[in-house]
Structure 1
Amino acid sequence: MESHIVKITAIHQVTHDVKCFRIEKPSGYQFVPGQATEVAINKSGWENERRPFTFTSLNHEPTLEFTIKRYVDHKGVTDQLHQLNAGDELILHDVWGAIEYKGPGYFIAGGAGITPFIAILRQLHRDNQLTGNTLFFSNKTAADIIYVEELTAMLGNNVRYILSREQKQGYENGIINTNFLRSHITDFSKHFYVCGPDKMITDINAALEKLGANANLVVFEK
């Protein structure tokens, strides 16, 4: 089992409850945009508390990046991570994950479920291959949207923000369901990339099947 002790090199606030962590990159450590690893904190009592996090950096970069939402109520790993500082250590494990780019289509994300898509969209942007891709990004409020400025700059009119608990000019209000997908998607033969809470993934996959999407072209973490 692969294991690496690495230092945090920088931390910055992304939203009110999301931080970006820059981490040392072990020699030879490789991943595909969309993949993840299990992370633990290298301090007493937390070394075996491993949680999955997706890389939001790109493979060519000299450091790794994770973009992590804090769940204070859980009093668990994310809460501890948000209390760390540059210089503190993490333990990284094997790279894994089923989410990777297969071709142009629709990205459907809920909250922190955007993280696998961040690296994919950044890589496509770097390679000038974003054409033909659309992002639907659902959050409770506008303040919850991760990397809103960057996503808007990359995708322009091909990103739609949906707010479930707030009405605000420039944003759609509601949830991503069968009716939403029917009214916003013109080609159900394209690829679909889905990530978010488990129930959201189940519901959206069922809705896509109902609307005629090819199950073999729906990419999600199984």
Structure 2
Amino acid sequence: MSIPDTAAARRRVSFHSLTVKEVRRLTEDAIEVTFAVPAQLAGHYDYLPGQYVALRVHMPDASGRDRELRRSYSICAVPVQFADGSSELTIAIKRDIGGEFSTWANAELAAGAVMDVMSPMGAFISRKGAASNVLNSMNHPGDLSNKAGNYVAIAAGSGITPVMALARSLLAANSGTRLDLVYANKATMDVMFLEELADLKDRYPQRFALHHVLTREQRIAPILSGRLDAEKLEFLLGTAIHAEGIDEWFLCGPFELVQLCRDVLAARGVQRDNIRFELFTTGRPDSPEGQRGRPVMIDSSEETYKIRFTLDGLTTEILSPVHARESVLNAALRVRPDVPFACAGGVCGTCRAKLVAGNVTMDENYALEPEELDAGYVLTCQSHPTTPEVTVDYDG
């Protein structure tokens, strides 16, 4: 198992074809999908609780032309390996309004389907205790070498997906660990993993506290009804939740909720290093067009940037018109369709590369940590050249 730090969490991207083992309905608008991982590929799919994978599928556009879609989904189960060396990987897919892939998956995806699945990535993992020790303790219940900790998770909607894996692993690893979970949804019928959360509560009644907040359904406790705003969160932290001495905070959901929680925690003096967060939406749907990149016309007389990038040891150069304000990722995709990316929204970090020469400006950054920025890493999907020549290294 890899060391659970930020660098190890961002391994080199690779896709492999996996077979869907089971599809289970969670709610009217969400399914759980389990992929079978054969023994020969098991090493490519080692993961830490809280990480995600990207799915790569081909679907026709409005004109019937084939195009590629990539969608990222968090892993919701703890790692498991069978006696024959094979393993499995489980994600949850919630139908989004207007979401082509999620709508298709919820209506038609079934066991036996084959999909390209990316190797797990992501830094939304526990770092206070060694994650490898957490998993070792789960495999060997008598070993409680992972230190006890106090954790709080705040999730909304499908943001519960990575939190499920984290909750299961942390609670199982040490009999002294405590976890409070605030989970916001519109109504009871929208709650993903409702039975699984109840089972966790039954299994760890003294150590797992679950607080369901429903925005469109009245609950007995008024504080658990209505939108989760700053006032309500402050009240919960001051009453229902053991908010002192927390080792790690996990925040997962839409941008507005995550930012609200970060602001409230910062005001309470919580150190940034103790907060892990992951966004499911940013409000910016911009993305490259499939695997080719947005087409760009180049006139020989116009000013251009020279973008140079290294991937798998091969260095490639491409010209990008200044007026096009093209991202480094888009330019790279025009000549190398295997350039790594998933969300193209500055959220997942899959397109991360090291800036070797020149300068860029990034529109958004929800994925890179300050120490990665200081080391020269950028998100190529959000990076635009500001110097005549720019060189990035995906292998760095």
TM-score of the aligned structures, taking structure 1 as reference length: 0.89
Q: 1:80 to 1:129 in 2, by over 3 A?
A: farther
1:95-114 matches, within 5 Å, as 95-101=120-126, 102=128, 103-114=149-160
Q: Say yes or no: does 1:74 pair with 2:98.
A: yes
Q: 1:54 to 1:75 in 2, by over 3 A?
A: closer
Matched with 2:42 is 27
* Corresponding letter in the other structure for 1:217: N
- 1:137–1:162 CA contact under 8 A, matched in 2: yes
Matched with 1:174 is 226
Q: Which moved more, 1:92-101 or 1:126-135?
A: 126-135
Over alpha carbons, which structure has the higher Rg?
2
Matched with 1:152 is 198
- 2:171–2:177 CA contact under 8 A, matched in 1: no
Q: Say yes or no: does 1:187 pair with 2:233.
A: no
Matched with 1:11 is 23
Q: 1:105 to 1:46 in 2, by over 3 A?
A: farther
**How much does 1:204 deviate?**
1.2
**How much does 1:78 deviate?**
0.8
CA distance in 1 between partners of 2:230 and 2:110 (Å)? 43
CA distance in 1 between partners of 2:185 and 2:196 (Å)? 16
CA distance in 2 between partners of 1:166 and 1:206 (Å)? 26
Q: 1:209 to 1:98 in 2, by over 3 A?
A: same
Matched with 2:74 is 54
CA distance in 2 between partners of 1:170 and 1:148 (Å)? 19
**How much does 1:127 deviate?**
2.7
CA distance in 2 between partners of 1:5 and 1:46 (Å)? 19
TM-score of the aligned structures, taking structure 2 as reference length: 0.52
Q: 1:145 to 1:109 in 2, by over 3 A?
A: same
Higher relative contact order (CA 8 A, sep 6+): 1
Q: 1:76 to 1:43 in 2, by over 3 A?
A: closer
CA distance in 1 between partners of 2:266 and 2:36 (Å)? 41
Matched with 2:164 is 118
Q: Provide, for residues 15-35 of structure 1, a one-character-per-residue CA deviation record: whole Å limited to 9, x for no partner.
A: 111101111223312010000
* Corresponding letter in the other structure for 1:178: A
Q: Which moved more, 1:74-83 or 1:40-49?
A: 40-49
CA distance in 1 between partners of 2:66 and 2:231 (Å)? 44
Aligned-pair identity (%): 24
Matched with 2:5 is none
CA distance in 2 between partners of 1:97 and 1:118 (Å)? 15
Q: 1:40 to 1:153 in 2, by over 3 A?
A: same
Gaps of 5+ in 1: none
Aligned residues: 221
CA distance in 1 between partners of 2:89 and 2:251 (Å)? 23
Matched with 2:212 is 161
CA distance in 2 between partners of 1:163 and 1:130 (Å)? 30
